[in-house]
Structure 1
Amino acid sequence: MTLDFAGGERSAMLDRVIGMARQPYGYVVTPNVDHVIKLMDGRVPRDVYEGADLKICDSRILAHLARLRGVRLPVYPGSDMTTDLLASPAAEGLAIAVFGPDRAAFDDLAARYPRQDLRWIEAPMLTPGTHGWTAAVKVAAKADWDMLLACVSFPKQELFAHALRAAGRKTGVTLCVGASVDFLTGRQQRAPRIFQQLSLEWLHRLLSQPRRMFRRYVIEGPAIFAWFVRTELLGSR
């Protein structure tokens, strides 16, 4: 599927992520269909994903396609991983920075998880390559944290995690987990469980935010099936 996804049970993946917190710097990406499409067509630099130390599948659609090739691809959505992380006693004692949400959202999160050492890093409106972007990278690279939850839009969070290494970050792990904090604080609603079980989370998001999600799910998203047939089943490159 163009990426070397992690295998194993969720608990093992979470243990691995927590174990990265006090190791040499690394970052975790959670690709979904939209990410893979943009990676294939070059809108996201390949080295950003190749530089990730752990790639965890965040798409049941990708898992279904993998099954057609006889591959079991575990799915561990970034929002689920963030929830499990913040509830885990194993993460207590780690400094967990949060980059993306505003101060009010961060304060809500901290109130929900008082046992965790949560720290806020301001994330102004960022455009990669600008002076503001470079300044934000430097601030985050020098800040005191073991884990950084990067909760900005794709692909900014992946580019940001990649840039921290170039900025000289020596230790810790960045998790690219999108809207996870918004889900945890109720600012956004996840699809009902039945939608998740039927692999229809995309439909729930489309119905909830039609203008924002129409292009992603109706125009661009279906390209994954044509690509899969062409490259995975027919073997053309």
Structure 2
Amino acid sequence: MGVNIAAINMEWLLEYLDKNLEDIKGDYICVSNVHTTVTSYEHPSYCSIQNGGLMAIPDGGPLSSVGRKRGYQNMERTTGPSLMGEIFEISAEKGYRHYFYGSTEETLELLYKKLNENYPGIQIAGMYSPPFRPMTEEEDKAIVERINEVNPDFVWVGLGAPKQEKWMAEHQGKIDGLMLGVGAGFDYYAENIKRAPEWMQKSNLEWLYRLVQDPKRLFKRYLVTNTKFIWNAMIRGK
């Protein structure tokens, strides 16, 4: 459907990031799912953003399932929240520094507290909740300087798709850290919402768990985008 989804698994990704982190700072990783893939298929400019970063990883189970059917047997679902957890686990040992851009002040406060409780020794270089309006050029320049001053390794961007991917693309080469758009990842680690049980994640049913949690917002999205994905990627083979 036009998006260059990386045919990877978590083990490969963690090894890649560890070996290449210094060289890939300033770039971004898209955490891609059915919704972002269908949006990319319908909007070429957004597709260019998905393909314009370091890679687009298969957050959505259907993406890795299609990849395996097309011959990439080692491809596995690599979710944003799972990647966050894997990196948080080794952060104290590796000395990784983290910056969190997005969400609300309340969620960031909770996130700070929970991360320090659950990952002793984690270095949180900074956090920023941007205003719910377009930022001025001066404001944007100031936040870029603020982020770069604290020298983060990872800049986690939680603005939701497609806003977070657009923000990362606009700041490619300007931010001195690896940017990753992780959607609801902030809420998971702030413990505002719970992730699906492991068996649902492995069965590609995490979308159903999220739907039950937030049916009003997600029902139409899942109904429309899932149908379009099944038709285009699975039936038509695009």
TM-score range, shorter chain: 0.7 to 0.9
- The correspondence of residues 1-237 of structure 1 with structure 2, limited to 5 A, is 1-23=1-23, 24-42=25-43, 45-72=46-73, 73-89=75-91, 92-101=94-103, 102=105, 103-108=108-113, 109-127=115-133, 130-132=134-136, 135-136=139-140, 138-140=142-144, 142-143=146-147, 144=150, 145-165=152-172, 168-169=174-175, 171-229=176-234, 231-232=236-237
Provide structure 2 residue ranges, at least 5 long, that are not aligned to the other structure: none
Q: CA deviation at 1:19?
A: 4.0
Q: CA deviation at 1:186?
A: 1.3
Give CA deviations for 1:22-62 in whole Å, capped at 9, x if unaligned. Answer: 22411111100000000011076222112210221001112
Give CA deviations for 1:191-235 in whole Å, capped at 9, x if unaligned. Answer: 1122212211111111221101111111232110111256427xx
Q: Distance in 2 between matches of 1:98 and 1:228?
A: 34
Q: CA deviation at 1:110?
A: 3.0
Structure 2 SS opposite 1:36: helix
Q: 1:134 to 1:213 in 2, by over 3 A?
A: farther
Q: TM-score, structure 1 length as denominator?
A: 0.85
Q: Counterpart of 1:135 in structure 2: which amino acid?
A: E
Give CA deviations for 1:103-145 in whole Å, capped at 9, x if unaligned. Answer: 4123222333231211233122344xx2358724641355222
Q: Counterpart of 2:202 in structure 1: which amino acid?
A: Q
Q: 1:7 to 1:211 in 2, by over 3 A?
A: same
Q: Counterpart of 2:102 in structure 1: which amino acid?
A: G
Aligned length: 229
Q: Counterpart of 1:12 in structure 2: which amino acid?
A: W
Q: 1:91 to 1:151 in 2, by over 3 A?
A: farther
* Contact 2:187–2:193 (CA under 8 A) maintained in structure 1: yes
Give CA deviations for 1:52-93 in whole Å, capped at 9, x if unaligned. Answer: 102210011122223333333321101000000000157632
* Contact 2:8–2:57 (CA under 8 A) maintained in structure 1: no
Q: 1:100 to 1:179 in 2, by over 3 A?
A: same
Provide structure 1 residue ranges, at least 5 long, that are not aligned to the other structure: none
Q: Percent identity?
A: 21
* Contact 2:99–2:125 (CA under 8 A) maintained in structure 1: yes
* Contact 1:121–1:140 (CA under 8 A) maintained in structure 2: no
Q: Counterpart of 1:78 in structure 2: which amino acid?
A: G
Q: Counterpart of 1:150 in structure 2: which amino acid?
A: V
Q: CA RMSD in A?
A: 2.5
Q: TM-score, structure 2 length as denominator?
A: 0.84
Q: Distance in 2 between matches of 1:70 and 1:21?
A: 29
Q: Distance in 2 between matches of 1:157 and 1:206?
A: 21
